[in-house]
Amino acid sequence: MSVTDPIADYLTRIRNAAKAMHPYVDIPASNIKRKITDLLLEQKYIANYTNIDNGHQGLIRIYLKYVDGKPVFRELRRISTPGLRQYVNHANLPRIKNNMGIAIVSTSNGVMSAREAKRQNLGGEVLCHVY
């Protein structure tokens, strides 16, 4: 069965595993998912991740991070969907919860946080919010 929105599927798998208090979650790999995972690790929303070669496209094993028995993030929300793309210029990049969260943006220079895109004066497609 094909997935129409792989990024939404990626976020849902992480969200569901965190609610079930699983130590890790395996997700089918792609380049954009790896870049989003790098950002989540850089911002300390996940503990770690590894790439697993299964002979096909591979898997990303994400080790979830908890504080006092609760996931570090409160919400993972998909913003731009295949049916309604959300593009913004650098002046309109979102600030999430007074800079307590991050917006992940796909720009012409790759996937990065909204803060980094604003520093580089780049706009792009807002993929998701994490806080």
pLDDT in tens, the chain (131 residues): 578 999 999 999 999 999 999 999 999 999 999 999 999 999 999 999 999 998 889 999 999 999 999 999 999 999 999 999 999 999 999 988 787 899 999 999 999 999 999 999 999 999 999 99
Maximum Cα interatomic distance, the chain, rounded to a whole number of Å: 43
pTM of the model: 0.93
The two three-digit tokens of residue 105, written as one number: 């943006």
The two three-digit tokens of residue 49, written as one number: 């991740």
Burial class (CB in 10 A: 0-12, 13-18, 19+), 65: middle
